[in-house]
Amino acid sequence: MSTSKTIKSALISVFHKDGLAPIVQKLNELGVTIYSTGGTEKFIKELGINVVPVEDVTSYPSILGGRVKTLHPKVFGGILNRQDHEGDIAEMQEYEIPQIDLVIVDLYPFEKTVASGASEQDIVEKIDIGGISLIRASAKNFKDTFTVSSMDQYEEFLSILSENNGETSIEQRKKFAAKSFNISSHYDTAIFNYFNEDEVVYKASEQTSKVLRYGENPHQKGYFFGNLDAMFDKLHGKELSYNNLLDVDAAVNLMNEFIGEDPTFAVLKHNNACGFAQRSTIKQAYVDALAGDPVSAFGGVLIANTAIDAETAEEIHKLFCEVVIAPSYSDEALSILKGKKNRVILIQKTTELPVQNVRTALNGLLVQDKDAKTDALEDLTYVTNTKPTESEIKDLLFASKICKHTKSNTIVFTKNNQLLASGTGQTSRVDALRQAIEKATSFGFDLNGAVMASDAFFPFPDCVEIADKAGITSVIQPGGSIKDQLSIDYCNANNMSMVMTGTRHFKH
């Protein structure tokens, strides 16, 4: 039997009718018999096109408030019959089941209804039964039946209809069937995740995707699954790369700690802040952030928590950077920043971010809650005889926020709301500390009176001793080591202050 099929009959029952009219008109032009229900039937009649109500086929009306319309053997037999199977052919004739070659059905908007904050009753009513069944049935029988399961497919399907006078190939039917199973599996995942409260399982489905130029390196393929347009307005520049996206993610999560605060600017490289400052103007915040490590800033990602003006843009324009992110820009600032053809300029929108982190590991996944804990004044335990001053407390909490978003093991130095240096991703906390001291010294920072943050406890007093000799006067750390007292004793003996938060912030 030929793998090409000519559409002679169609069942159409959709929630979204935008773009449907040209398809219905084309089917009518091709002499296709159209079956339909409810609102879609009315829509087709208003186009002046003949349509057969499904009730005329099943001899049953739409019942239970519309919950049962198409769930009938005469409908599903018409869709699922195998046209090259003698038994099926005989039963179709015996039970007077009409052949259905095309199914155009979409699903109730379950996810949108959940997102709208609707009542549980309204949400439950948006769990499609007939639609999902029709999609699965017709997709299963792709050898004989064509399935259109989303309005996003209307344009492509109309082209197929027009170019081939209603004839479809097995390749086309299988392609659309795959799309249908993608839609049905995504739909079921959304429903399960809405209801699930007890089962420890991981189900995720993301319909929006983007092919990246490559992954971390040119020999690796890379993809992004998600809706960047919901997160940013891209105003200028080249396409974001895999590495850009990792840095942008780190930048957004870090700057979220400073929303609504004084003008704050961060420069990130390889997912870590290499410059960070909070000032009375965004220009000064940028200048002081850049001073933290002007070498690493080359090719970095820049982010601000407030609008970027022309003066700030003039300073940024002197630096080669990959991406600039801000909630808004002045017209003049945009004109300046667009002076570099490839520089990506993003406006960050207010968007709810995932509450879990997911990464591959071995032959599975690691899933955890995001580190949503931000150390605050009420979390501090004052463990030394010398207590931090008011300005030191401010710097300690400032340092703690940056430390939380820096790769472990990490040490962070800050003073006067400025990142002086950090030691990032080291296998030893002592190494992280020494790296931070070396960087601060190389860029001319005076560590006398600066504070230190650590993402985890000190197992020995060596770190506070090294920090003390470098000029650090106050320390914030989670505590929890069986040898905490050794570090406390050193601080007491050398007039250093130390506070403990009780919360570790590892970031691997």
Q: Catalytic positions, please? A: 140, 270
Across 111-156, the runs of DSSP E, i.e. the strands, are 146-148
User: How far is residue 449's CA from residue 432's CA, in Å, rounded to a whole number?
Assistant: 19
- Is residue 358 a contact partner of residue 203, using CB atoms and an 8 Å limit? no
Q: What is the distance in angstroms between the CA of the first residue and the CA of the last residue of the chain?
A: 58
For 79, residues 6+ apart whose C-beta sits below 8 A from its C-beta are 11, 100, 103, 134, 137, 138, 141, 145
- Is residue 456 a contact partner of residue 408, using CB atoms and an 8 Å limit? yes
Give residue for tokens 């039963």.
Answer: 91
Quote the tokens at residue 26. Answer: 């084309």
User: How far is residue 321's CA from residue 300's CA, in Å, rounded to a whole number?
Assistant: 5
User: How far is residue 63's CA from residue 10's CA, in Å, rounded to a whole number?
Assistant: 22
User: How far is residue 248's CA from residue 106's CA, in Å, rounded to a whole number?
Assistant: 35
Long-range contacts of 459-466 (CB under 8 A, 24+ apart): 459/429, 459/483, 460/486, 460/487, 461/486, 461/487, 461/489, 461/490, 462/430, 463/411, 463/429, 463/430, 463/433, 463/487, 464/490, 464/491, 464/496, 464/498, 465/490, 466/430, 466/433, 466/434, 466/437
